[in-house]
Chains A and B, each alone.
Chain A
């Protein structure tokens, strides 16, 4: 079977978009931004600017979804705009490194925080493996079951972050000294450096496009879901940063590597630190649930194109879920979690997500040239908005290559390993 049951609606789409973005980053990354930009207004401004870039991306993916409402979402956009090999390398890297490595790393983070609140007689790796196995099993039961789990944890995640924001707002404001401002070029450089961790924190909404084959009305629900979801995340991120700054001040935020815990400890004492651990556990488990739901649809689409193991197209009549693709991803994530090499693996490919972001946004120029009249869901401000987004992605990729040349080279090697694999499967298909 090479199609899936369309069972998801707008609410599911919004939850999937938000669930793909919010992981553990927002509880940690804000200190990296605060170290670059010491003034609170600049810090909040940088989060707002990063959010606007993500919003531009959401509009681009919305138009792409309306133009190509096909199985696999981003994989299909790359295939249709450029060449199947580009799409294949994307799916290949997603399965071998980006998705599985990322999920292994998040599963270990979940295990660390979960064990700190529930004293268990097993280690971090065992808890991470159990979490991944449980989510694999739930998602194999069907898209409705996987989506329901993701919706529940996303709702809890929103409640937990809102709780942190409320605690921050109700606490007395920090009295801080006036920070020294960087001038001219220094300030611009600092803003650029601050926007990199922000861009990584806002990434992940594109994974909702993978569900194109299971949304009841892709053109209506995915387009709106992308925009509403990203707007929701911008509101949460700006609000939570406001709370951190309100309690800790800009200097205090820059001086801690665990801003959420530090802030909550200041507000509620030791109980606050435990509550933060609960919030991070919920958030990371929800993030894993989203990853287990979305990415297997890409491997399924690759197999449906005849470019991957044919067995991955197996869809049981009862569950209507791509069970083999889900199991493969779960198994690989578990292997990487047990190996303990996920941090090293991830450092090689941190920029490749943005390489594919840029390429996918560029696909919109290709589609518009091919079909200039098919403008059902146009990106506001195109071509300027789209060009701005592509440039932002190119700058992040360039910055990573310049700052981490050795890791980047290894990353490009991993991408290149997809070429012989593509040749093998394309010949087999022929």
Chain B
């Protein structure tokens, strides 16, 4: 019983940690100002920001 609980914790903790790292990776990609600036120069399009409506300065 104790061993089952411990392996549950391991799976649970690993799952949470992996998810946290994946979220951080996604956030890094979605830090789209850096990414979209590059894309912008390639495509010539106004970058699409999923969070805010913006006007270019």
Contact = CB atoms under 8 A, between A and B. Distances in A.
Contacts of A246: 51-52
Interface of A is mostly: helix
Contact of A52 (B24, B54, B57): B24
Chain B contact residues: over half helix, strand or loop, or mixed?
helix
A45 B28 contact: yes
Interface residues of A, number: 38
Nearest to A47: B27
Interface in B16-57: 16-18, 20-21, 23-24, 27-28, 30-34, 37, 49, 51-57
B47 to A, nearest CB: 8
Interface stretch (A35-43, A299-307, A400-408): A35-43
Interface residues of B, number: 30
A252 to B, nearest CB: 12
Contacts of A45: 24, 27-28, 30-31
Interface stretch (A155-163, A171-179, A409-417): A171-179
A9 to B, nearest CB: 16
Given A40-B52, A49-B24, A175-B53, A55 B17 contact: yes
Contact of B53 (A55, A173, A220): A173
Contacts of A175: 53-55
Contacts of B54: 175-178
A249 B52 CA distance: 9
A227 interface: yes
Nearest to B50: A41
A90 interface: no
A408 B1 CA distance: 50
A231 B37 CA distance: 32
Given A48-B27, A49-B24, A52-B21, A377 B53 contact: no
A380 interface: yes
B5 A220 contact: yes
Given A175-B53, A181-B37, A44 B27 contact: yes
9 contacts: A45-B24, A55-B17, A173-B52, A175-B55, A181-B33, A224-B9, A231-B16, A380-B18, A385-B17
Given A41-B33, A52-B21, A246-B52, 5 more contacts: A41-B49, A45-B28, A62-B13, A181-B37, A220-B5
Interface of A: 39-42, 44-45, 48-49, 51-52, 55, 59, 62, 173-181, 220, 223-224, 227, 231, 242, 245-246, 249, 376-381, 385
Closest 3 pairs between A and B when the two form their complex, measured CB to CB: A380-B17, A177-B57, A41-B31
